[in-house]
Structure 1
Amino acid sequence: MEQTVDVVIIGGGPAGLNAALVLGRARKSVAVIDEGRPRNRVTRETHGFLTRDGISPSEFRRIAKEQINAYPAVQFVEDAAITITGTDGHFETTTAQGATYRSKKLLFAVGMKDLPLDVNGLTDVYGKSAFVCPYCDGWELRDQPLVLIVKGARALHSAKMLSGWTNQYTICTDGPDEWTDEEREELKLHNVPTYDSKILRIESSEGMVERVVLEDGTSIPCTGIFFAPKLAAGSTLPQTLGCKMKETGTVIVDAFGKTNVPGVYSAGDAATELYQAITAASLGALAGVCINGELLTEAWNSKS
């Protein structure tokens, strides 16, 4: 099967969906290619998104697609993009199921993906009582005893942030803390308990954490965990096209979502380290506006 559209969007999360909404309303033909395995599928609720606070990720997508379906130029393709070739105005995307989509522009909204969690028991509680962002899930764990699993330079920043939701938290570095003497002193000044023993296991019941047990025998009762995830780029396709990347796997873009490759854009978690649904959606909308503007300008100039 071969189709020609104005824009191919790879990724159907908040960024890709909002871009599709903007482009659909702008009467551009769009194919949204997404295999249906979002990173936030492990979580029960999405928070911080105005009018949708507390909604499940699956329900959020269902409503978004239902609304976008009012614009017939947008189609959703449950598939995975595996190869992309071409240049601005003439891109060709091939999927795992053998379909080919030709497009003038590309938008990568591929997000990030979690690398395997190497703490025994963390997978059992991830998305239920263990989270990565206090802005997304801190309210639900306010004033409760928590464990923060983090080391190195991120620890002090994370401790400051978590203090806005609870003052009952302990830092476990799961090995050498990698802190400077100044960082250790600052944490001590604020009476933050810290442990650098390796984590033996996280004990839980039906996804709700009960305690963190260290190899030195220390047992830390808690009702929630925040941890620093290990992430990788959601797709290697931007790199294959020549997009410049950060060491974190984030695609480098300008203020409008443009990459260094003409005709190629990126938005959402793939293009920022501010991992929130509402941020991703707003960046997707902005990229959609810019893509539409570029298409209109090119069409206008072709008649000059």
Structure 2
Amino acid sequence: MTTIRHHAIIIGGSYAGLSAAMALGRSLRDVLILDGGQPCNRQTPHSHNFLTQDGQTPAAISQAAKAQALAYPTVQFKEDLVVEALALNGGFQVKTQSGQRYLSQKLLLAFGIKDELPAIPGFAECWGISVLHCPYCHGFEFRGKKTGILAKGDRAFHLASLVSNLSQKVKILSAGPGSFSPSQMEKLAKNGVEVVETEVSEIRHTDGMLSEVLFADGTAEPFDAVYADVPFSLPEKLLQGLGCKIAESGRIQVDALQQTNVSGLYACGDCTSMMRSVASAVHAGNLAGAMINHSLVAESF
């Protein structure tokens, strides 16, 4: 068991965490990145809407980012899942799955979120490929295609409005009562968006590329893509030891400088923001790294 004190520990070594590590490494801070090795976009074939990297694979972007961040000699990366974190007097302690313990002055949560996928056959295999979460990330590639919206209520209405700008062939698959207001139903009808309330029983596909949706009544309908609103979770046990507040969105609450309600504890990326994009994560990580360094400077200068 090892106990080493760092200026900062970053939990999560994807875009947000690596961006923060680079900012800190360039300020000569001793940084340890701990990552569990299971990024949420591991099935996504291509990443979009990020200047200089548009169309690149998520893995390639991560590999390049990791190499660049680790080029700074004070930055370390270990693939080890953090299972426990505690706020101590004047710092933090984290424990990993391998039994290691590390201490730091500052702690940054950049571990993203875990998508809780429904138990619909074929859904998980298509997630990030043709069953999607974000029109900004994937919409252009499915422009003009037959598209489903697997959601209901305000979220379905919002997604339908965005996707209708990309395709005229959009259906909401509410899998039960759609829960739309009269004005929402009027706008959906006006824009030719039909609501299908029959439960979805299967997503049929070939290697993650959707071919058709099978419904509980035995009927099937071809689709090229489906946007789905799925719940998510955060590592509850890890957060309990830190005492940070959770916002109404279910994500970690931070201020404009990525600071949580706990002194010295910062968070960035998908665990704090609904904007689940590489560009947003890199921006938030860059800001968090700078703010952590600013705090360290203020304490020592």
Shift of 1:120: 2.8
Tell me the alpha carbon deviations over residues 109-158 of structure 1, each in whole angstroms, 9 at most, x when there is no partner: 01110113232321222222111101001111111111111101111111
Q: Helix, strand or coil: the match of 1:32?
A: strand
Q: How many residues align?
A: 300
Task: For 1:255 and 1:210, locate their aligned partners in 2 and report how far apart those are by CA, in whole Å.
Answer: 43
Task: For 1:171 and 1:88, locate their aligned partners in 2 and report how far apart those are by CA, in whole Å.
Answer: 51
Q: Helix, strand or coil: the match of 1:27?
A: coil
Q: 1:73 to 1:165 in 2, by over 3 A?
A: same
Contact 2:84 2:237 in 1 (8 A): no
Contact 2:117 2:230 in 1 (8 A): no
Shift of 1:247: 4.2
Question: 1:172 aligns to what?
Answer: 173
Task: For 2:219 and 2:20, locate their aligned partners in 1 and report how far apart those are by CA, in whole Å.
Answer: 49
Shift of 1:189: 1.9
CA RMSD of aligned residues (A): 1.5
Moved more, 200-209 or 97-106: 200-209
Question: 1:213 aligns to what?
Answer: 214
Tell me the alpha carbon deviations over residues 41-79 of structure 1, each in whole angstroms, 9 at most, x when there is no partner: 121111111111112121111111111121010000110
Give the AA of the match of 1:188: A
Q: Helix, strand or coil: the match of 2:251?
A: coil
Mapping 1:62-77, distance limit 5 Å:
62-77=63-78
Question: 1:16 aligns to what?
Answer: 17
Shift of 1:264: 0.3
Task: For 1:3 and 1:97, locate their aligned partners in 2 and report how far apart those are by CA, in whole Å.
Answer: 15
Question: 1:26 aligns to what?
Answer: 27
Question: 2:288 aligns to what?
Answer: 287
Question: 1:57 aligns to what?
Answer: 58
Give the AA of the match of 2:255: D
Give the AA of the match of 1:154: R
Tell me the alpha carbon deviations over residues 263-293 of structure 1, each in whole angstroms, 9 at most, x when there is no partner: 0000001111111111011001101111000
Contact 1:87 1:262 in 2 (8 A): no
Contact 2:87 2:241 in 1 (8 A): no
Mapping 1:133-212, distance limit 5 Å:
133-212=134-213
Question: 1:277 aligns to what?
Answer: 278
Question: 1:299 aligns to what?
Answer: 300
Q: Helix, strand or coil: the match of 1:116?
A: coil
Q: 1:10 to 1:235 in 2, by over 3 A?
A: farther
Question: 1:226 aligns to what?
Answer: 227
Question: 1:110 aligns to what?
Answer: 111
Contact 2:168 2:192 in 1 (8 A): no
Q: 1:272 to 1:266 in 2, by over 3 A?
A: same
Shift of 1:236: 4.0
Q: TM-score, normalised by structure 1?
A: 0.94
Contact 1:88 1:264 in 2 (8 A): no
Moved more, 238-247 or 253-262: 238-247
Task: For 2:191 and 2:66, locate their aligned partners in 1 and report how far apart those are by CA, in whole Å.
Answer: 47
Gaps of 5+ in 1: none
Task: For 2:237 and 2:145, locate their aligned partners in 1 and report how far apart those are by CA, in whole Å.
Answer: 40
Q: Helix, strand or coil: the match of 1:148?
A: strand
Contact 1:42 1:126 in 2 (8 A): yes
Question: 1:6 aligns to what?
Answer: 7
Q: TM-score, normalised by structure 2?
A: 0.95
Task: For 2:162 and 2:136, locate their aligned partners in 1 and report how far apart those are by CA, in whole Å.
Answer: 9
Q: Helix, strand or coil: the match of 1:171?
A: strand
Q: 1:235 to 1:22 in 2, by over 3 A?
A: farther
Contact 1:172 1:195 in 2 (8 A): yes
Contact 1:232 1:248 in 2 (8 A): no
Q: Helix, strand or coil: the match of 2:214?
A: strand
Contact 1:88 1:105 in 2 (8 A): no
Give the AA of the match of 1:36: G
Task: For 2:11 and 2:293, locate their aligned partners in 1 and report how far apart those are by CA, in whole Å.
Answer: 17
